[in-house]
Amino acid sequence: MKILTGIDIPFIPFGGSPIICNDWYSGLPNDIQVRFLTLQPNDAKYGHWWTMKDVIFFNVEKKRRTDEFPLYVNELKVEVAKQIKSFEPDIIHCQHLNFGLSRAFVEVDNLVPKIGICHGTDVQIATRDDFFLENMKYITQRLDLLHFPAQKMADSYFRINPNLKPYVVIPHGISNRAFVKTRKVTYSRLDGALKILYAGRLTSYKGADIIVEAMKHLDDNFNLTVIGGEDELGYKQKILHEAHESNSDGRITFVDHLSQEELWKRMLHFDVMVFPSRTLEAFSLSTIEAQAMGIPVIYANAGGIEDAVGISGIQIGDNIPRVWANKLKYLRENPEILSKYQKLGFLNARKHKLSDIKSVFFKVSRDLINKSKG
């Protein structure tokens, strides 16, 4: 089985989809070949971070403005046509239902079966911009099957684009390397400060500012570390200012974006992971990775994360700073609850082992190929 896929972004390990794709399409059995198309990395500090075997870089500049999009898609179509001719794929995986490369895939070829793989930003963009809502509809009409990582992600998609397109729900898997068999930290007692971790892109959608503001309602028994790169102009400065104004900056540490392996190493030093997202999440890999490391997860209900974590994590009520502060106080005073969710979380993470989920993911493609042959 030969799969052609890719993402038209500068290929760095920033955000979920590049990492997810690298996990899916690495370490393949001999009967599966994948060619991954993407754009040249724009930051040399990450080096050759991917483990996929066949990665092709386009010499095309990413265009984000709607007035540039048609010309941008035409540039991608030239490159896609070359790859389809040389690689002769059995199936195409269209990553993102709203990106230029998926548009190029469906416009260049109408014979090879195509699966559209929905990522969180697809629906977010479509709800903010009618141009990209129509773009998503156009692409979807030309796909054979849709794939969602969570049912709530699918529900959100079909609310804004009602159609009868067949779809499957297959959760994202996490690398087996993320699991630890034992964890030294237990929650029978907490002598020092509760060590809180936020790990994610720094953007208002992800809500790091909510946790930063919550710290002004907490005392020296609580320390917060924020790990992530800025993905919204001025956002990091905003939360730094909030921390300074509330005199809590001495208890908050900011760390720039880390590689997946580096993040896993850091995770082991925390007591809880917080996920205060304000908007739809497709899945949230980092929360499941935290659970695999024995770290209890506290999260706001933001779509797909509720399917992924569910009752194995602690769901917050109102996603506001004061409520977060009260919940964190309560958990520090009742460490047996953290112990409970440490165990529940680890059991949940085991259900998301990539080694177990990959076979399901690729079986869907085989079935679609066989169906297309009649």
User: With bands split at pLDDT 50, 70 and 90, how would you rate the model's confidence at 307?
Assistant: confident
Residue 107 has pLDDT above 80, yes or no: yes
Q: How many CA atoms lie within 13 A of 67 on its CB side?
A: 0
Rounded Cα–Cα distance for residues 57 and 37 (Å): 6
Give the three-class secondary structure for 258.
coil
Are 37 and 126 contained in the same domain? yes
User: With bands split at pLDDT 50, 70 and 90, how would you rate the model's confidence at 186?
Assistant: low
Return all residues near 316 (Cβ < 8 A) that are at least 6 apart: 276, 298, 299, 300, 301, 323, 324, 327
Residue 181 confidence (pLDDT): 57
Give φ, ψ of 311 to 5 degrees.
Answer: -75, -5
Are 91 and 212 contained in the same domain? no
Are 128 and 187 contained in the same domain? no
Are 44 and 111 contained in the same domain? yes
326 or 110, which is more confident: 326
Are 313 and 224 contained in the same domain? yes
Region 332-347 average pLDDT: 92
Are 199 and 342 contained in the same domain? yes
Are 153 and 187 contained in the same domain? no
Return all residues near 74 (Cβ < 8 A) that are at least 6 apart: none
What is the dihedral sign for C-alpha 267, 353, 228, 149? negative
Are 43 and 102 contained in the same domain? yes
Rounded Cα–Cα distance for residues 117 and 215 (Å): 37
Are 346 and 360 contained in the same domain? no
Residue 14 confidence (pLDDT): 78
Are 56 and 165 contained in the same domain? yes
Residue 25 has pLDDT above 90, yes or no: yes
Query: pLDDT per residue over 164-178, tens digit each?
Result: 999 999 988 888 888
User: With bands split at pLDDT 50, 70 and 90, how would you rate the model's confidence at 187?
Assistant: low
Are 168 and 181 contained in the same domain? no
Are 100 and 83 contained in the same domain? yes
Per-chain mean pLDDT for the chain? 90
Number of domains, the chain: 2
User: With bands split at pLDDT 50, 70 and 90, how would you rate the model's confidence at 74?
Assistant: very high
Question: 25 is in which domain, residue-wise?
Answer: 2-173+353-372
Highest-confidence segment of 15-19, 25-29, 256-260: 25-29
- Looking up residue 159, the CATH number of its domain turns out to be 3.40.50.2000
User: With bands split at pLDDT 50, 70 and 90, how would you rate the model's confidence at 275?
Assistant: very high
